[in-house]
Amino acid sequence: MKEIKGGVCAAKGYAAAGVHCGIRKNKSKYDLAYIQSETRAAAACVYTQNLVKGAPLLVTKQHVADGYARAILCNSGNANTCNADGVDVAEQMCRLVEKTFGVASDDVIVASTGVIGQPLPIEPIASGMPLLADALSPAHGDDAAAAILTTDTADKQYAVTFRLGGVDCTLGGMAKGSGMIHPNMATMLVFLTCDAAISPALLQQALREVVPDTFNMISIDGDTSTNDMVALLSNGMAGNPPVETRGEDYETFKAALFAVTDHLSRRIAADGEGATRLLLCEVTGAADRDAARTVAKSVVCSSLVKAAIYGRDANWGRVLCAIGYSGVDTDVAKIGVRLASTAGEIEVCRDGAGVAFSEERALEILSEDEIRVLVSLGDGTAAATAYGCDLTCEYVKINSDYRS
């Protein structure tokens, strides 16, 4: 497997575009993105577990029920959620794709992100379709990645190449996510494209198998959004022998999918609203995978831990506190905690009790951009990693005047 430049247009047979159509007041920001495969592609999706779901998710579920899709249309600036006409607007967006690009409306994945509870006018989107048509190109993946952003400070793209049956394949993606992000799928908008030939059933299975250890392990603020989804297309244009059963090729495909989703998860967590540091909690020695995941997520979700990371304070007691209320039955007398970064590593807790350490050295370690909280439980061999960020005053500022 090899990392390459690119995102949703890295794989064969994909083109994209991003434009400003007028949903967002700031004319310098794109607000309408489009991705299209040359051919109908196997499709897989996972969605938010929030009971309140955006209208686009309801429409998308119907469109990918047969396991196939060909295009993705997404607007930013308005979530199209809790609107009486939301489903109708989402369906109109898909019909606009059919009218403009000749892609059947029921082969369109539709998504929206932005403010909840405000009607989404169809007029700006309709006026933006000719602009998308003019801009559609394999060279415009960056524009599409920019068009789905809201409070993000940077776009998030990644791609890898890998071999299936002796044939080179490519998988890439783009993501948005900065706030309203909390575990339990989905946690943001992610669009993934691949040129491998793989059955829709195995594509869905692979996505569901990697999500619990990647996107479901992110937490920025404890809020699970209403519009979040991950959509994956794979059009088979690489020409590999189709992957139709579990085996070596399936595991290779899943490894590539994990590599892309893991990278995007880290990028999302690092770009949390107001964040200054990426926070990773790596748990080892758990009784089973569920216990490892639960402990890791409890630590990165702790407001007190997040605030300590922002303040570069080695307040390891907050880590033990988060482990203690996680609900996992563990022997506290076996817990160990270390803090690590590119500046080094320091032990702060052993066998559930504090050990002497240099506060000055801890400060050096906690001053880096990526902080790792290493937790050992001593209950077994299972491990998991959760992705989070520090909690800053800027987070409050961003969300107190979000609509204005």
Tens of pLDDT along 155-179?
A: 899 999 999 999 999 999 999 976 5
User: What's residue 226's pLDDT?
Assistant: 66
Q: DSSP letters along 156-195, please?
A: EEEEEEEEETTEEEEEEEEEE-SSS--SSS--SEEEEEE-
Concerning whether 187 is annotated as a catalytic residue, the answer is: yes
Q: Distance between CA atoms of 163 and 298, rounded to whole angstroms?
A: 37
Whether a cis peptide bond, with omega within 30° of 0, leads into 356 is no
What is residue 404's predicted lDDT score, i.e. its pLDDT? 46
Q: Rounded to a whole number, what is the distance in angstroms from the first to the last CA of the chain?
A: 44
Contact 148, 173 (CB under 8 A): no
Task: Domains for the chain: give ranges and CATH numbers.
Answer: 2-270 (3.60.70.12), 278-400 (3.10.20.340)
pLDDT reported for residue 222: 55
Q: For 109-159, how does the pLDDT look when each residue is reduced to its tens digit (9 = 90+)?
A: 999 998 888 999 999 999 999 999 999 999 999 999 999 998 788 889 999
- Residue 324's pLDDT is 96
Q: Give the angle subtended at the CA of 371 by the CAs of 295 and 347, to the nearest 5°.
A: 75
Q: Strand pairing partners for 192? A: 173, 232
What pLDDT is stored for residue 117 in this prediction? 87
Q: In 3-state terms, what secondary structure has residue 105?
A: helix
User: Beta strands 189-194 and 2-4: pairing type?
Assistant: unpaired
- pLDDT tens series, the chain, 404 aa: 999 999 999 999 999 999 999 999 888 899 999 999 999 999 999 988 777 778 999 999 999 999 999 999 999 999 898 889 999 999 999 999 999 999 999 999 999 998 888 999 999 999 999 999 999 999 999 999 999 998 788 889 999 999 999 999 999 999 997 654 555 443 479 999 999 999 999 999 999 999 989 988 887 655 555 667 899 999 999 999 999 999 999 999 999 999 999 999 988 888 877 788 999 999 999 999 999 999 999 999 899 999 999 999 999 999 999 999 999 999 999 999 999 999 999 999 999 999 999 999 999 999 999 999 999 999 999 999 999 988 887 777 766 665 54
Q: What was the pLDDT predicted at 179?
A: 52
Considering the candidates 60, 151, 187, 224, report the single residue annotated as catalytic: 187
